[in-house]
Structure 1
């Protein structure tokens, strides 16, 4: 089952988001250690109006146990959703981070998707990807996008099998990613 995320999911969600985005978590939070970045992301997840907010997430459940998540937003909202991170890092370090815009203004963007390591290979990631695409359609968006690490051909192949195609490259936090897009059907 896939359900909307809630603030109480922060403790579950933050480590999975960290697993999905890696170094980007350090850029977003100004943290140098993983546990520090995860703690900051948990705080952001439990709050409204930011890139990693529970408002922008769904949780995959197995019975009463959360096993995966997807975080998404529309590219036109990027600046507003990143502003809390910029302010947070600037307050902590005195320097505003240079956040790369990962999504274009005409895309519904999959920021991160992750499944607990002991639950992988059971189709949960595919259910989350389908939920993301359905949310795009529900909101009236006909173009979805995501980034996949250049060094992750298995993930790229999965997305290609789902109809995504590469249309560029983006460097985020020192890593190169393939920008992949797909058109989805929005009923009239």
Structure 2
């Protein structure tokens, strides 16, 4: 099976957003300010096509098999997310009419895998591993550093995969009052 990974384009929103929403669950309600799936989807597609937030196509990579979207990686640096989340907080606060705070998901000086998800049709074929390896290659090309992600504490299969790829649990983490593990891998420069 030939897997290609490329930068996302705005037109990938329709295929990418349902996968991202599946991966992040209730967080999608928080970052869109919506509660119904149809409205969450519409708002998420809007955020995806914009350039000023963490779920923009600019920070997204698409895995394809035979021209079909098979997986998604959302990836950025801790430094980038400061401005991206400030923009999102302002947007959501204006939308809701009350202040909105986005929970931090990364520590300073980390490269962060916000989301990695594989379409159910393609699971078990190594696409998730390819996306994680791609993120590692990006970090190498940027001069190396810490590659981090958060995983829900009950997702034992994902935790096992991350452990096999040399991620280590650094500390417990909380996102929208839910327990996660913050996992980190040190990546050398090219």
Q: Into which bin does the TM-score normalised by the smaller protein fall?
A: over 0.9
User: Which of 66, 74, 79 does residue 77 from structure 2 map onto?
Assistant: 74
Counterpart CA distance in 2 for 1:19 and 1:140 is 32
Instruction: Kindly indicate whether residue 96 of structure 2 is the aligned counterpart of residue 93 of structure 1.
Output: yes
TM-fit CA distance, 1:66 = 1.0
Normalising by structure 2, we get a TM-score of 0.94
Decide whether the 8 Å contact of 1:14 with 1:39 is kept in 2.
no
CA distance in 2, matches of 1:81, 1:58: 17
> How many residues are aligned here?
187
TM-score, normalised by the number of residues in structure 1: 0.95
Checking the alignment, whether the CA contact within 8 Å between 1:29 and 1:41 is kept in structure 2 is: yes
Q: Is the 8 A contact 1:59 1:67 kept in 2?
A: yes
**Which of 17, 21, 24 is 2:24 aligned to?**
21
Residue from 7, 11, 18 that aligns with 2:10: 7
CA-based RMSD of the aligned residues comes to 1.1
Deviant stretches of 4+, over 6 Å: none
- Which sections of structure 2, spanning at least 5 residues, go unmatched? none
In structure 2, how many angstroms separate the alpha carbons of the residues matched to 1:84 and 1:17? 20
Instruction: State the match for 1:33 in structure 2.
Output: 36
**Structure 1 counterpart of 2:161:** 158
Instruction: Return the alpha-carbon distance in structure 2 between the equivalents of residues 63 and 131 of structure 1.
Output: 19
Gaps of 5+ in 1: none
CA distance in 2, matches of 1:151, 1:83: 30
Structure 1 position 83, deviation (Å): 2.3
Q: Is the 8 A contact 1:6 1:54 kept in 2?
A: yes
1:91-140 deviation per Cα after TM superposition (whole angstroms, max 9, x unaligned)? 22111222111011110000001111111001111111111111111122
